[in-house]
Amino acid sequence: MSKESFEQFVKRQEEKLDKAEKMVEGVKERWKDKIEEFEIEKSVEKSVKELKKLWEENEKKVVSKSGNEVFSSFSFLPLPEIPPFLLERTSNKFLKEFDWEKFKGRIALEYDLSLLLSAFLNKNIENYISSQKEKGIKEEKIKPIEVRLNVEELPVRLSYLGYQNPKKLHLIIEGDCKLFTGDKMQGGKIIVKGNCRNWTASEMQGGEMIVKGNCGELIGVGMQGGKVTVEGNCGGRAGSDMRGGKLDIKGEVESFDKSAFSPHNKGVIIWKRTKIWENGKWTKEGEEMWERGEIPVG
């Protein structure tokens, strides 16, 4: 073989090799998304399986306990720790695939199941915040994690959704809630695209909550901080034992609790887009409405 033909032979082989490598890269690129999706699905399946197992192993231990006791019990369990971008997918899959028929009729199912889910979400958000701080990111610069929960088609209305909702968790609930939504909320944001029943935002400490529909009785009971906005109507005894924060009700109110207008309430109450109470006393507009008998108190 001549020197020239040998060089040509080598060149042809190099060209073939280069072409083959490009084909391999092309195949990898085409399958990359599918491989990643497969790995994600495996991770979600594993986490859902672990949550189901933890529920079945511990649900009898928390029956008849208070909400805080149940939450604490679940918080100490080896809950799945996953990347924050998988929280929404895992939470919805857990609720969708939960064995509702098996636990039908169980006492406080709608309470305890939500508290397990809250413990799972809160633990992972706390881990996320810690990991960001370890990277040198200041808390105010940490991006919040959004989790959309679809509860519209569940066989029961859940209570205690968003329990002790932490900073950096934006919880968007698609559908109606039952009792104690956003109870003891610490921070972050909760948006309910539906209605809530009694004790919404009770003992709220911080963050922001928006209810797109109506609320039942005792909204904001024991509220200390944060802001809750109701775009619809509310039931009776709104703002009971309120001490701080901002309660904004855009619709009708069956009645405010008389304790809402105590000097001990250093918060703000807005009703029908009018600020009627602030820092322990009536506003000018609120006092005028009170004298005219326009503010219902029960």
- Domain spans of the chain? 20-143
Give how far Cα 80 sits from Cα of 87, 89, 171, 195, Å. 10, 13, 19, 30
Confidence class of residue 264 from pLDDT cuts 50, 70 and 90? very high
Whether 86 contacts 47, CB under 8 Å: yes
Helices (H), the chain: 3-58, 67-75, 87-97, 109-134, 284-291
Q: Angle formed by the axes of helices 3-58 and 67-75, to 10°?
A: 140
What the block records as the tokens of 111 is 């309470």
pLDDT tens by residue, 77-127: 999 999 999 999 999 999 999 999 999 999 999 999 999 999 999 999 999
Q: What mean pLDDT comes out for the span 279-287?
A: 98
Q: What mean pLDDT comes out for the span 278-289?
A: 98
- What residues form DSSP beta bridges with 277? 269, 282
What the block records as the tokens of 218 is 């005792």
User: Dihedral of the CA atoms 67, 68, 73, 74 (nearest 10)?
Assistant: 70
Indicate the residue type of 73. S
- Which of 38-47, 87-96, 218-227, 266-275 has the weakest average pLDDT? 38-47
For the cut 60, the answer to whether the pLDDT of residue 6 exceeds it is yes
